Amino acid sequence: MKHYEVEILDAKTREKLCFLDKVEPHATIAEIKNLFTKTHPQWYPARQSLRLDPKGKSLKDEDVLQKLPVGTTATLYFRDLGAQISWVTVFLTEYAGPLFIYLLFYFRVPFIYGHKYDFTSSRHTVVQQNCTYYWGFAAWMAYYINHPLYTPPTYGAQQVKLALAIFVICQLGNFSIHMALRDLRPAGSKTRKIPYPTKNPFTWLFLLVSCPNYTYEVGSWIGFAIMTQCLPVALFSLVGFTQMTIWAKGKHRSYLKEFRDYPPLRMPIIPFLL
């Protein structure tokens, strides 16, 4: 079995950065990045962009060396993408902030509502629900929900219970969709497939919608808006729906473009409408 020689050059200066000898033909770009990191530990794989042409597109991690248009001596060009932040860090940054901000209003720390209400808590049951989203809206919603003059929903406990049921159901649905999407792609693979319903009833929405995770998330915020009967929450739900519709339409278009046999009845986010 023949082996490859791989030289990696700087895409800007053409300086030789690394020479790899006896690389397996079935080695992937991800594996080559790991080999490159051994000689240049400051450039961990997530920072690396390897390409066949200095100004060309980055090769995918799953690309196999022997399937690339190169000879037994392959020349790859390296660009540093800069420090990369993991999705876990991004997720924690987004969601830890709102939790912290919400607690400031929940415990009514000084200088927010006035000294009379310092470190007191609301007597209304409905405001015990968490509000977790982006930092700015979290503060805006928390301010009104925890305000000393806040009034509970018009229909009281019945409205709260109904809206809470909607919220919980949609959260379960959102979780189910994410689990289905996770199981759709085997570990270590980036192969894209058409998502279909599973035995979980919450995933049956895939029959009519391309992005049911967005559908469920919008439903959760509608439930929360009904539960709190708070205008800022309603406005945030509307803004969120608008943004998620844009994302859903984009994903729906990519599905139609990529899969010729894509189910024709599906809509981006709302069954039969949108």
pLDDT digits (tens, 9 = 90+) for 49-69: 999 999 889 999 888 998 999
What gap in Å lies between CA 148 and CA 65, rounded to an integer? 65
Answer yes or no: is pLDDT of 113 > 80. no
- Rounded Cα gap, residues 118 and 260, in angstroms: 61
Token pair belonging to 178: 């994410």
Strand, helix or coil for residue 193: coil
- How confident is the model over 127-163, as pLDDT tens digits? 446 334 456 677 767 787 877 888 888 898 899 999 9
Query: What is the pLDDT at residue 165?
Result: 96
Name every residue whose Cβ is closer than 8 Å to that of residue 170 and which is 6 or more positions away in sequence.
Answer: 216, 217, 219, 220, 223
Q: What is the pLDDT of residue 131?
A: 38
Q: What is the pLDDT of residue 115?
A: 72
**Tokens 């196999």 belong to residue:** 64
Q: β-strand 4-10 against 73-80: which pairing, if any?
A: parallel
Of the segments 142-146, 151-155, 186-190, 208-212, which one has the largest average pLDDT value? 208-212
* Stretch (H or E) spanning 50: strand 48-51
pLDDT score at 132: 41
How confident is the prediction for the chain on average, in pLDDT? 85
- Tens of pLDDT, residues 2-50: 788 999 999 999 999 999 988 998 999 999 999 999 999 999 888 899 9
Domain boundaries, the chain: 4-80, 85-151, 156-274
Radius of gyration of the chain (CA): 25
* CATH number for the domain whose boundaries are 4-80: 3.10.20.90
pLDDT of residue 96: 66
